[in-house]
Structure 1
Amino acid sequence: MAHDHMIEMLDLDAEVLQDYHRDLVAWVAREAPAHPRVVDLGAGSGTGALALARELPDATVTAVDVDPDMLAHVGAKASAAGLGDRIRTLVADLDQPWPDLGPTDVIWAASSMHHMADPAGALRSAFNALAVGGLLVIAELDSFPHFLTGTPDEAVEKRAHAEVARLREEAGMHMHENWKDRISAAGFPSVTEQRFDIDLRAPLPASAARYAEVTLGRMHDRLSDRLPASDLAALEKATATLADRDDLSVRTTRTVWLARR
């Protein structure tokens, strides 16, 4: 069930934040060479792989992930979208020596680099995998989106976010890295950075409420032994009412780095 919720959350992220995703993919499409061979690192549910294949009709995309179930979902989505002939999947642990990815023109890593045990090593591997002139695209998030800003439940949501941030730090995740410096240190001669501040207000589509429900529900489950009982109860109560609320918003920040080999 938790695995299904992760897939749903990733798919909802792409749906609710569609303007951000569209702008990002369009930017990559403008910079990519003709007939690009694209690798999606840590492909997750495949939202990036499918978006890139749609925006770049001459591209072939390899979706790489350590989780075979995720990649099965990617393959099913690609086939249903008529993109099965241009999207292939590859199971690989990117914290181990990388498999031969073949000639590569674009490496896309959306919300995956912070999971790497050795991000500096992963960036060197990306540099070596890219053809001369190829693009590296890293998109990272500061935190999960906030949905209850300006509501009576804002404070408990903030406390939950703070505790999730501590969990990530304890797990050794590389959040809030200086990715520009790390990318440069890997050998890329130039790096462009762009910040996307996302602030969606009511009226929101029903998918936004479901996105909030899945996201906050996962936070509640992860923090079951970390938050006071009163905070857990307040978060659970807020989550249960999301479909009927008219005071939801979706606020998050994504930062993107684009580098050329």
Structure 2
Amino acid sequence: MTYVFIDRTNGWVYAPEAELGRPKVGVSEILLSRAEEYFSRFEQFSHIYSILKNAIDKFDTPLSGLAVDLGSGFGNTVIPLLSAHPDLRVLATDISPDLLAICRREALKRGLADRCAVVAFNAERDYLKQGIADAVFGCAILHHMVDPMAHVRTAVNLLKPGGRAVFLVPFEAGNAILRIAYTSIHEEAQRRGEDGAALQFLRGIARDVEVRTHRFDPAPDFKWHQMDDKWMFTRSFFERAIGEAGASEVKIEPIQAPEDLFTRQTRVVLESYGNIPSTDLPDWAWKIVLRFDEEFFSDDQKRDLPVEAMGHNHQMRGAVDHGNRSKRRSAGFHYQPPIDHEWEVCHPNCPDAHITRPHKATGCLIVDFHISVLRSKARPIVVGRRTHAYRRLRRR
């Protein structure tokens, strides 16, 4: 185990040593050096939980034990889960240590940090032991992945028998309708000789949906895998991915009501994504969008054309062979106060916290690494505030 110190304000974030120096492909600066800006724009703790609650309420038993959250960012999922479920512990993961520092800060503010550990790594790599989690969440993360199929398999393998995985993702069907509508608006704008920020932004969204649907390079000098948002999803993708992973009960549930679906989503696109007042879009353009809501589809059909949806599944009991765990060593993630870095010290609540020698505490939050990671010497590293590159701390 290797841990990462983010800064004196937000506390400690951990990372496996194998992540050190790896490039963060397809991760823009707004998720790194501009993480605070991203947090201020997209913090939606209450809204996200109102969506998740629909899936959680369908669990066979109350949510408790250990949840692994993949792609936690600044904690849009983590904070409401911890707040609403006092018997739950959460392992929050993300490729951006900067976002995880904010997640930890928000947990500390609310007195939730003793049930939360934050770990920085690329979720497409398999660092965590299998069969450890009562639930796995992946909210708005799969579309960032180069290989989301592998990510789903990893999530399912993390589950204990009977555990559940929940994903919140953009769906191809509803976004394809928006692309058609926005393309029609662009063609009408050309015919009228009109232009403007709102019209240009919708034209860009139509192009973005096209690239993410077919996953081709948008320009000779800009590759598809370098984009922040890379995928749109389908029901068949989830059925295939979850079936291959040995899970069952695949359910797809739209998160938006069908009434005025495309009109409401267009307002979100302009105001939330583009920071453009929806009133800047001409009336004739709104009429084009409205036709897709009122003329072309019934509300029943729009339920089958989600723009965003939850995909969740149930791990079949005993379906996955997690291997011989006796061959693996165990070590927990532990909160590390800023002390002499020669020592490994547990969370203060750990029964072994009084031990004043290097040790592997096993009674703490949260999770075990694979043996290949545990064989690496534990060393503290720091995330540079400007370079955002991992570098080792020298012992003073």
Q: TM-score, normalised by structure 1?
A: 0.70
Secondary structure of the 1:53 match is: helix
| Match runs of 1:14-33 below 5 Å | 14=45, 18=47, 21-31=49-59, 33=61
Could you say if the C-alpha distance between residues 46 and 199 of structure 1 is closer, same or farther in structure 2, counting changes exceeding 3 Å?
farther
Match of 2:206 among 144, 151, 162: 162
Looking at structure 1, the residues matched to 280 and 149 of structure 2 have their Cα atoms a distance apart, in angstroms, of 45
% identical equivalent positions: 21
Unaligned runs of 5+ in 2: 1-28, 186-195, 218-223, 261-266, 287-292, 294-305, 316-396
Shift of 1:84: 1.1
Looking at structure 2, the residues matched to 161 and 109 of structure 1 have their Cα atoms a distance apart, in angstroms, of 24
| Match runs of 1:36-115 below 5 Å | 36-100=65-129, 103-115=132-144
Secondary structure of the 1:197 match is: coil
One-letter code aligned to 1:120: M
Match of 2:164 among 132, 135, 141: 135
Shift of 1:49: 0.8
Query: Which residue is 2:191 aligned to?
Result: none
Query: Which residue is 1:11 aligned to?
Result: 43
Quick check: 1:189 aligned with 2:248?
Answer: yes
Secondary structure of the 2:149 match is: helix
Shift of 1:6: 2.5
Looking at structure 1, the residues matched to 110 and 278 of structure 2 have their Cα atoms a distance apart, in angstroms, of 31
Match of 1:258 among 297, 312, 334: 312
One-letter code aligned to 2:232: M
Q: Given that residues 131 and 160 in structure 2 are in contact (C-alpha distance below 8 angstroms), is that contact kept between their aligned partners in structure 1?
A: no
Could you say if the C-alpha distance between residues 190 and 244 of structure 1 is closer, same or farther in structure 2, counting changes exceeding 3 Å?
closer
Query: Which residue is 1:215 aligned to?
Result: 273
When structure 1 is superposed on structure 2, of 97-106 and 49-58 the one drifting more is 97-106
RMSD value, Cα: 3.5
Shift of 1:89: 0.6
Q: TM-score, normalised by structure 2?
A: 0.48
Higher helix share: 1
Question: What are the Cα deviations for residues 18-47 of structure 1, in whole angstroms up to 9, with x where unaligned?
Answer: 2x6414225314416442311110011211
Looking at structure 2, the residues matched to 107 and 99 of structure 1 have their Cα atoms a distance apart, in angstroms, of 12
Please identify the structure whose Cα radius of gyration is greater. 2
| Match runs of 1:110-121 below 5 Å | 110-121=139-150
Looking at structure 2, the residues matched to 212 and 101 of structure 1 have their Cα atoms a distance apart, in angstroms, of 41
Looking at structure 2, the residues matched to 46 and 176 of structure 1 have their Cα atoms a distance apart, in angstroms, of 23
Looking at structure 2, the residues matched to 39 and 65 of structure 1 have their Cα atoms a distance apart, in angstroms, of 11
Secondary structure of the 1:189 match is: strand
Could you say if the C-alpha distance between residues 70 and 179 of structure 1 is closer, same or farther in structure 2, counting changes exceeding 3 Å?
same
